[in-house]
Amino acid sequence: MHHHHLLSMHEQRHFNIRTIGLSDYLPIWQAMRDFTQTRTALTHDEIWLLQHSPVFTQGIAGKDEHLLNSHGIGVIKTDRGGQITYHGPGQIIAYLLLDIRRLKLGVRELVRNMESAVIDLLRYYHINATGRVEAPGVYVGNAKIASLGLKIKKNFCYHGIALNVNMDLTPFSYINPCGYSGMQVTQTKDLGISDGLEILSNKLADQLQVKLLKG
């Protein structure tokens, strides 16, 4: 019992960070579900850092009319919350596979802390970003720079954050991003941040650990 206690204390100090690279959406989604399905009380929480090949994903609340014209890019109906968004190369995905009960995080707090991880990352580069109560995500002015979506299953979560870094933003114009018509999107490169995907991925993972690990 004492050993178990030590383990759970240690558990709170870090997440396992997996750097995966450019991946198709479906196998990663399946891997997240498998991981969540088979995890136990002793499973370490993980952050998966990757990029997706071009794809639109539509959340469970997603309305078909928000896809204006896919221009041949695949559309996948997925099991996260939220509306439709676009993923493509040059966008950092940080998937969070967490035991939120063990982390003592409520869902609203989890979302706020995810947003503040991105906000603090951008603040490091002297860029002022904000969250919005009515539309989860992170915004610079009126332009969205990061989107959020989660699935919560029996106190476990998966899915996470997508941060636009250095990508072709054109496909965002094929949709109403997150259900908002005409929403502008931006990315770190266009805000004058020269650091690339690898540095920003690692900084984002660090910020997420700071925000989500209270121990």
pLDDT score for 199: 98
Q: What is the pLDDT along the chain (215 residues), one digit of tens a residue?
A: 444 444 454 445 689 999 999 999 999 999 999 999 999 999 999 999 999 999 999 999 899 999 999 999 999 999 999 899 999 999 999 999 999 999 999 999 999 999 999 999 999 999 999 999 888 899 999 999 999 999 999 999 999 999 999 999 999 999 998 888 888 999 999 999 999 999 999 999 999 999 999 75
- Is 86 known to sit in a ligand binding site? yes
Q: What is the pLDDT of residue 144?
A: 97
Is 84 annotated as ligand-binding? Answer: yes
N-to-C CA span, the chain: 20
Look up residue 101 and give its two tokens.
Answer: 């009960």
Amino acid at 55: V
The residues assigned a catalytic role are 178
Q: Alpha helices, DSSP H only, in 39-158?
A: 107-124
Encoded amino acid at 139, one letter: Y
Structure tokens at 41: 């009380």
Would you tell me the crossing angle of helices 107-124 and 197-212 to the nearest 10 degrees? 140
Assign domain 2-212 to its CATH architecture.
2-Layer Sandwich (3.30)
Domain ranges within the chain, ordered by starting residue: 2-212
Total-model pTM: 0.93
- Quick count: other Cβ atoms within 10 Å of Cβ 10? 11
50 assigned to a ligand binding site: no
